[in-house]
């Protein structure tokens, strides 16, 4: 009799229902946030961790230009590291012979290629300059001079938008 009673009370296994409504809410919020911060830029710039860009009130969007990145340790043109920096000085750069620098030679090649393929009208005529905010002007000046000598006197200084 007692056994029979126990049997009577045994319930059938019912698979538990997961409450996914709250998870859906969370996902919806995440999706909305991500959609708002969706980048519609022509290209995504991979920023290196060791570069701290200055903040500015500038509102202008950057264009598709040649990227010149100056960090505290190196000079980088597009994806190629051109030279190393030590104590704010470009290693192997003679300030009196800027035209002999690797950066100058590379920029000349870029300019030559840009002139060659001028048909599409979307040439990279300027330099997008991304520079660490802690670097002194003497370091920046030599790099800017080289770019100007190579035929790129117009720059776009990359900055982070200041939160108002």
Contact set with another protein (CB under 8 A): 20-21, 23-24, 27-28, 30-31, 34-35, 37-39, 41, 44-45, 47, 53-63, 128, 131-138, 140-141, 144-145, 148, 153-161
- Whether 142 contacts 90, CB under 8 Å: yes
Q: How far is the CB of 117 from another protein (least distance, A)?
A: 24
Smallest gap from Cβ 116 to another protein, in A, equals 23
Question: Beta strand 74-77 with 66-70: parallel, antiparallel or unpaired?
Answer: antiparallel
Residue number with CB closer to another protein (119 or 164): 164
Our CB check for another protein shows the closer of 10 and 59 to be: 59
CA 111 from chain center: how many Å?
Answer: 23
How far apart are the C-alpha atoms of 91 and 74, rounded to whole Å? 9
| Rg of the chain (C-alpha set) | 28
- Nearest alpha-carbon partner for 73 in 20, 19, 131, 29: 131
Nearer to another protein among residue 7 and residue 79 (C-beta): 79
Interhelix angle 102-116/137-149, rounded to 10 degrees, is: 40
The nearest distance, CB 164 to another protein, in angstroms, is 11
Minimum Å gap between C-beta 140 and another protein is 6
Q: Which residues contact 164 (CB under 8 A, 6 or more apart)?
A: 57
- Specify the residue, 1 or 44, whose C-beta has the smaller distance to another protein: 44
Residue 84 C-beta: closest distance to another protein, Å: 19
The smaller minimum CB distance to another protein, of residues 93 and 131, is found at 131
């Amino acid at each position: 009799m007692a056994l029979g009673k126990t049997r009577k009370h045994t319930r059938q296994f019912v698979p538990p229902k997961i409450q996914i409504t709250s998870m859906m809410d969370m996902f919806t919020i995440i999706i909305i946030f991500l959609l708002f911060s969706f980048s519609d830029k022509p290209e995504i710039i991979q920023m290196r961790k060791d570069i701290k860009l200055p903040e500015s009130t500038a509102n202008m969007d950057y264009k598709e230009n040649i990227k010149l990145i100056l960090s505290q340790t190196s000079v980088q043109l597009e994806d190629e590291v051109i030279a190393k920096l030590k104590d704010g000085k470009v290693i192997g750069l003679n300030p009196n012979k800027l035209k002999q620098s690797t950066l100058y030679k590379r920029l000349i090649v870029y300019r030559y290629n840009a002139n060659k393929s001028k048909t599409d009208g979307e040439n990279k005529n300027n330099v997008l300059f991304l520079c660490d905010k802690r670097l002194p002007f003497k370091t920046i000046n030599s790099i800017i001079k080289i770019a100007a000598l190579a035929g790129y006197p117009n720059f776009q200084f990359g900055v982070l938008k200041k939160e108002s």
